[in-house]
Amino acid sequence: MSATIEFLDTADGPFGILARNGSVIASGWTDSADALLNRLAQAHRPVDVAEGDTGAAADAVRAFYAGDLQPIMAVPVTQYGTTLQQAGWHALRTITPGAPLTYSEFAVHLGSPSAVRAAASICARNAPALFVPCHRVLRSDGTMGGFAWGVAVKQALLAREAAA
């Protein structure tokens, strides 16, 4: 399996997109191909990665940083995980920009109010960041919590979405 990788300059630093057949498989605020590949389980990592144009994915990131939040959600993503993880990643894409949920609220949103740890794990294992907006989930006390790409990036994303 081969994939295309593209790096963009954003207000939050370099942003990498790893895509296969027009679908984003990993992304985040880095200029390191290894950092993106390491977000994927070994079995799902592409064998060949070439730098190139990721098309609609890159266009959607540029639109996001220009203030149009909608194109990000139209970009196809491919993720590998359990049925609960798949449902969680799908649910993350339904959280309204500017209206983040806590992990407890996200667990309720998933239909499993007692699954707060599972909700947090779903966010932590999310490979196509931004396209699947795990940054829209906060600690149960409303604080930022962790984010694979740094809390400062998470804060900036939430502020950008609140302003849009």
Measured CA to CA, the distance from residue 50 to residue 6 in angstroms comes to: 9
Q: Total domain count for the chain? A: 2
CA pair distance 140, 89, nearest whole angstrom: 19
Beta bridge partners of 77: 24
Alpha-carbon gap, residue 24 to 18, rounded angstroms = 6
Residue 157: give the domain boundaries.
83-163
Q: Kindly state whether residues 103 and 68 are assigned to the same domain.
A: no
Domain edge (last residue) among 38, 54, 74: 74
Chain position carrying tokens 């790893």: 18
Q: What percent of the chain has pLDDT over 70?
A: 100
Answer with the one of 27, 49, 74 that is the final residue of a domain.
74
pTM for this one? 0.95
**CB within 8 A of 101, min separation 6: which ones?**
95, 109, 136, 137, 138
Residue 150 to residue 164: CA distance in whole angstroms? 22
24 & 66 share domain: yes
Confidence of residue 142 (pLDDT cuts 50, 70, 90): confident
Give me the active site residues, please: 134
Would you say residue 143 has pLDDT above 90? no
For residue 36, give the CATH number of its domain: 3.30.160.70
Q: What is the CATH number of the domain that holds 159?
A: 1.10.10.10
Q: What pLDDT is attached to residue 146? A: 83
Collapsing DSSP to helix, strand or coil, 6 comes out as: strand
Same domain for 70 and 96, yes or no, is: no
Residues 90 and 153 in one domain: yes
pLDDT of 66 reads: 96
Same domain, 42 and 92: no
Q: What is the DSSP letter of 25?
A: E
The 10s digit of each residue's pLDDT in 88-141 is: 999 999 999 999 999 999 999 888 899 899 999 999 999 999 999 999 999 988
Task: Give the tens place of pLDDT for each residue, 5-21.
Answer: 999 999 999 999 999 99
